[in-house]
Amino acid sequence: MLAEAVCKNQGFTYSPSESLWWKHGYSSENDFIYVTTHNLSPQQLQDLSDEVGENSLLVCCAAFRGKTDQFPNLTVKKIPKMLLHSCEWAHDDYSLNVANLPMANTADLHFAKPTKEKEKTNATMDLFGDLS
């Protein structure tokens, strides 16, 4: 979610690569973006620069150390706080897709029959036999 938002914010097309871990999106044939919430050290930036090779890579991270002008193929930016704060962190999603649940067999359900007194009041019964 964050990588997609940063791509859109920076004018890149979100399209994560299945083979290259650092390629989260692109803006041209040789211009890519990598998004991470980690703090990047100079050694990590060097490793990333070596991995990218002749391509150009925009690195969006939470923070970084070192001088970025050492890496001609990397442009390093901090992720905008607006985007970081709009994402939910440490939150499990327990969403349930109920669109394709199997239907219950109504023959197996037992409904309580209303008494004559309840029929007179035009009350309806719920599944548990209570008036609603």
Tell whether 131 is covered by a domain: no
Tell whether 43 is covered by a domain: yes
Which residue, 28, 19, 16, 36, is CA-closest to 76? 36
Tell whether 102 is covered by a domain: no
- Residue 71 contacts by C-beta under 8 Å, 6 or more apart in sequence? 45, 46, 48, 49
Tell whether 82 is covered by a domain: yes
Tell whether 125 is covered by a domain: no
Provide the mean pLDDT of the chain: 81
Tell whether 32 is covered by a domain: yes
Task: List the beta bridge partners of residue 122.
Answer: none
pLDDT of residue 12: 96
- Over the stretch 42-95, which tens digit does the pLDDT of each residue have? 999 999 999 999 999 999 999 999 888 899 999 999 998 888 777 766 656 656
Tell whether 16 is covered by a domain: yes
Highest mean pLDDT among 4-8, 108-112, 127-131: 4-8
pTM: 0.64
Q: What is the domain range of residue 53? A: 2-86
pLDDT of residue 125: 59
Tell whether 66 is covered by a domain: yes
Count how many domains the chain has: 1
Q: Is the pLDDT of residue 108 over 80?
A: no
